[in-house]
Amino acid sequence: MGFCLSISMPRAYNETKNESTNEGFSVMQGVFLDRDSLDCGDLDFSDLDRILPDLRYYPSTAPDQVAARIAEAQVVISNKVVLDDAILSQAPQLQLICIAATGLNNVDLAAAAARGISVCNCRGYGTPAVVQHVFALLLALVTRLADYRQAVHEGHWQRASQFCLLDFPIYELAGKTLGIVGYGELGQGVARIAEAFGMRVLLAQRPGTVQDQEGRIPLPLLLPQVDVLSLHCPLTPETRGLIGAWELALMRRDAILINTARGGLVDEALLATALRQGALGGAGVDVLSLEPPTTDNPLLAPDIPNLIVTPHCAWGSRESRQRLVAQLVENIAGFLRGHPVRRVG
């Protein structure tokens, strides 16, 4: 298992840059506010340095540091640092915000637009990583991988009266029904792999819509049919609390819930209760409503059966993170050429 090593050298990255290499673009001053949110010391930033030779990197940025760090910047790169109206009002030179992620909730898009600041995000960079993580969670649950691993560590196999242990029920994915909420690039990727496993795939109607969608099933009608429910929709006012008491009650008692989208889609306390009461077969979640979570998050209690929680790492393959850096370069290059790409504001 690899570990991310934080490198706390916000200015040192710039010391060896060639100030003359900017592909003919005018040199713009930029800041990357939270490099450590995606870099484990294993990424190549040379293309980003080449297009923004006057780019300062900060491992992380606290709320009270943001205004000073972006005061003179023309380009700001941020993953999770909040850029609200009050902060943007203190950055008179700012022309471009590059979100080093897909989610837009950390940037006040209306305030940026009012000040003529372009905003671009990154998209689709983590699809292969997230799709494989969905099935890592699902396979671990249906094979009871953690339970069997623990049984070996505790010596149960060594003391067994026969050649194998079958203490925990194992299920096959073949022939099971997978319901997908959110059929964008990630949902489609999950569907392709599910079909390779021999699963039947059903698509939920887009949350918040009232008109019928061809090939889609309203969520209340879909939930009783699925053996596995996988969430891939954004967190919006229409989707917050999407899976609550009523929805959990509609699901089969042996169904599995997978959430690699956003923590706020699921009522965490009710999910914990459903698992404890055996009203749900299992759950695998990579996201929580508050990140990093507090110790009192309902899903972090040690007594919840058939639950796997991972720390928002589904997207984090090295390949995924390097693709994200490449998209940052594309977004900045497009802006400098006057043709922004992945513009959201």
DSSP state string for 39-85: -SS----HHHHHH-TEEEE-S---GGGHHHHHTT-SEEEESS--B-H
12-125+318-337 and 127-309: identical CATH topology: yes
- Round to whole Å and give the CA distance between 201 and 180: 7
Which residue, among 55, 42, 45, has the nearest Cα to 15 in the 3D structure?
55
Spans in the chain with pLDDT lower than 70? 1-26
- Asked whether 219 and 207 are in contact (CB, 8 A), the reply is yes
Looking at residue 294, its pLDDT comes to 95
Which residue, among 38, 35, 42, has the nearest Cα to 12 in the 3D structure?
35
Question: Over 26-48, what HEC string results?
Answer: CCCEEEECCHHHCCCCCCCCHHH
Q: How many CB atoms lie within 10 A of CB 32?
A: 31
Long-range contacts of 244-249 (CB under 8 A, 24+ apart): 244/270, 245/270, 247/219, 247/220, 247/223, 248/274, 248/279, 248/280, 249/279
User: For the segment 111-141, what is each residue's pLDDT rounded down to a tens digit?
Assistant: 999 999 999 999 999 999 999 999 999 999 9
Q: Which residues touch 1 (CB under 8 Å, ≥6 apart)?
A: none
Architecture of domain 12-125+318-337: 3-Layer(aba) Sandwich (3.40)
- Round to whole Å and give the CA distance between 253 and 274: 9
Q: Left, alpha or beta for 338 (phi > 0: left; psi -120 to 50: alpha)?
A: left
- Round to whole Å and give the CA distance between 107 and 219: 30
Structural domain boundaries in the chain: 12-125+318-337, 127-309
Looking at residue 4, its pLDDT comes to 44
Q: Is the preceding peptide bond at 292 cis, omega within 30 degrees of 0?
A: yes
- Round to whole Å and give the CA distance between 287 and 239: 15
* Phi and psi at residue 261, to the nearest 5°: -95, -85
- Round to whole Å and give the CA distance between 207 and 52: 40
* Phi and psi at residue 93, to the nearest 5°: -90, -5
- Round to whole Å and give the CA distance between 85 and 65: 15
Question: Over 291-343, what HEC string results?
Answer: CCCCCCCHHHCCCCCCEEECCCCCCCCHHHHHHHHHHHHHHHHHHHHCCCCCE
- Round to whole Å and give the CA distance between 97 and 99: 6
* Cβ-based burial of 260 (10 A; exposed 0-12, middle 13-18, buried ≥19): buried
- Asked whether 309 and 317 are in contact (CB, 8 A), the reply is no
Looking at residue 210, its pLDDT comes to 73
Write down the CATH number for the domain with range 127-309. 3.40.50.720
Containing 187, the helix (H) or strand (E) segment is helix 185-196
Q: Which active-site residues does the annotation give?
A: 262, 291, 312
User: For the segment 251-303, what is each residue's pLDDT rounded down to a tens digit?
Assistant: 999 999 999 999 999 999 999 999 999 999 999 999 999 999 999 999 999 99
Which residue, among 173, 175, 177, has the nearest Cα to 141 in the 3D structure?
173
Looking at residue 26, its pLDDT comes to 60
Q: How many CB atoms lie within 10 A of CB 128?
A: 15
